[in-house]
Amino acid sequence: MKSFDGKVAVVTGGAGGIGRAMGEAFGRAGMKVVLADIQPEPLEKTVADLQGEGLDLIGVPTDVTRWDSVAALRDATLSAYGAVHVVCNNAGIGAGAEGPMWEHDLRDWEWAIAVNVWGVIHGINAFVPVMLEQDDEGHVVNTSSGNGGIAPLPSTPQYSATKAAVVTMTECLYGQLDGTKVSASVLFPGPHMLRTGLFESWRSRPDRYAKTRPRKTPYTTVEALEEQMKAAGVQIAYTEPAEVAAAVLEGVRADQFWIHPDNPRSDEMLRLRSASMLDRSNPDYLRAVPG
């Protein structure tokens, strides 16, 4: 997209973290913004904060696992602003499973797939037809992760598998949009650790995806992960959500499919994985990955 001024952006998972940062970046670039999130109170506060800074945006409480909710988000966007030009399918959760995957509660799989995969599908199906009908420049950004999108962490099979699916869906979308004015990108946030609400996803877990048995250990927190990394002698570095949002803005402007910051570690994992596939060799690189 060559111009953002006056255009309309929709961002799911928009109450905090990367979603909020993207909404703010689009707003400061002159766009009208619709933030969507399953948590109404944090969404309301974020919208009030950003409106107080002079940005033109609204919030729409949305459950991306439900088609009718995402369709309502589309309708609210069109009612408020009359068009949509950028859609960021950003909502995502960590399922919080523990132990080996063959012991995981099936509800963990159901919830992860519902948010991380069906959420993207619903976003595509709700908004892309409108964007094509407008016959104007448009862009879809789907948030993946190096964990799964590049190579998996064995300890997080639900998250890894669903984020790998996001990459493949976005590749297919990009190919099918060829010859139109709409394009697509896949986002790998980073290059370092982000302090977002991903580790607290369990707080907004719907009852229909509730675990069928209690956890044996407390949920992992970002603070606990930091302590583990420090104990292992790993130096912790952080990426601010605003840095990710800036990369998204430039990626959309440049029609860049892979929005993927320079990261030596993920680049090495990508090379090792590709080499394993090309050589038809076992994925021994996973033995060095935690979990």
Known catalytic residues?
159
* Nearest to 3, CA basis, from 32, 30, 35, 34: 30
User: Among residues 68, 73, 98, 108, which one has the least CA distance to residue 205?
Assistant: 108
CA distance 194 to 42: 19
- Reported residue count of the chain is 291
* CA 260/CA 186 separation, integer angstroms: 8
E runs forming strands in the chain: 8-12, 32-37, 57-61, 86-89, 138-143, 182-187, 258-259
Beta strands 182-187 and 258-259, pairing class: parallel
Distance CA 273, CA 265 (A): 12
Whether 128 and 147 have beta carbons less than 8 Å apart is answered as no
Give start and end residues of each alpha helix (H) in 82-115: 106-112
Nearest-10 Cα torsion for 156, 184, 5, 251: 70
In angstroms, what CA-CA distances link 165 with 119, 128, 170, 180, 250?
A: 12, 19, 9, 24, 24
Contact of 12 with 19, CB cutoff 8 Å: yes
